[in-house]
Amino acid sequence: MYRPANIAGAAPVLLWMHGGAWSLGGPEFDDHWLLGIAERAGVHVVSVDYRLAPEHPFPGAIEDCRTVLRWLRQQAAALNIDGRAICVGGSSAGANLAAGLTLLCRDAGEPQPALQLLMYPALDDRLETPSMLGIDDPRTINRSFMRERWRAYLGSRDPCSYYAAPARAQDLHGLPRTSILAAELDALRDEAVAYAERLVATGIECTLLVLRGAVHGCEAIAPQSSLAASVSSWAVSQLLHATRPRLA
């Protein structure tokens, strides 16, 4: 849990799910980036150490994230957080978990987060979009890699639940305000764009940014780059927009 200094009163919180294709990494993977987000946006950040595949396939990881979200709601006063300004977010597989979590909340009749912040989200296990078929650079994620990772995450589950692959959800009504970041040179680009378009068509407030010339996870690959600064500034602006009171 990252707590910025000098916060007076209850503050918003970002529940964050790290990337790593559901099978790699941990909360410490995003330490530097999340510290910056917490300070600049004035939010607490809670990063989930969820169970990893293939030892723990779906729904292990998303159940862990749901447990932490419920804990945040229940302990809001004790944790000095604003229960009305809980956001969820993640990168890559973490964005998949965030998107699945909002679908779970909707279907269970539980309160929706103030925002879902989805960076390079992996949303569609079918792997048939033009970017997935056309971007095959071995230096970044590609269709072959994603096929293996989806197989490890889903295990023997067939058919695939839309909580695991949110692009399979037929109905997107009732979801929260959404901010989606995609990268031009990312195989996941088109499923992120398609999800944003479907949310807008449903009437959900959604912001989409496609970073030109960027690859998947560019802010982690080159943290001192101008692209990394753009990603950080974008995330901060989306959190501020979703959690700060509007002026009349």
Q: Which residues contact 230 (CB under 8 A, 6 or more apart)?
A: 211
Domain assignment present for residue 3? The answer is no
Q: Output the pTM of the full model.
A: 0.96
Domain assignment present for residue 82? The answer is yes
Domain assignment present for residue 248? The answer is no
Confidence of residue 88 (pLDDT cuts 50, 70, 90): very high
CA dihedral 71, 4, 225, 139 (to 10 degrees): -20
pLDDT for 246 beyond 90 = no
* C-alpha dist (Å) from residue 205 to 81, 88, 197, 209, 234: 24, 15, 11, 14, 16
Q: Give the whole-angstrom CA distance, residue 43 versus residue 10.
A: 10
Domain assignment present for residue 2? The answer is no
Split into its structural domains, the chain has a count of: 1
Active centre residues (catalytic)? 92, 186, 216
CB burial of 190-224 (b: ≥16 within 10 Å; e: otherwise) equals bbbbebbebbeeeebebbbbebeebbbbbbbeeee
Domain assignment present for residue 176? The answer is yes
Residue range 92-146, pLDDT digits in tens: 999 999 999 999 999 999 999 999 999 999 999 999 999 999 999 999 999 999 9
Q: What is the domain range of residue 206?
A: 11-243
Domain assignment present for residue 117? The answer is yes
Domain assignment present for residue 26? The answer is yes
Domain assignment present for residue 53? The answer is yes
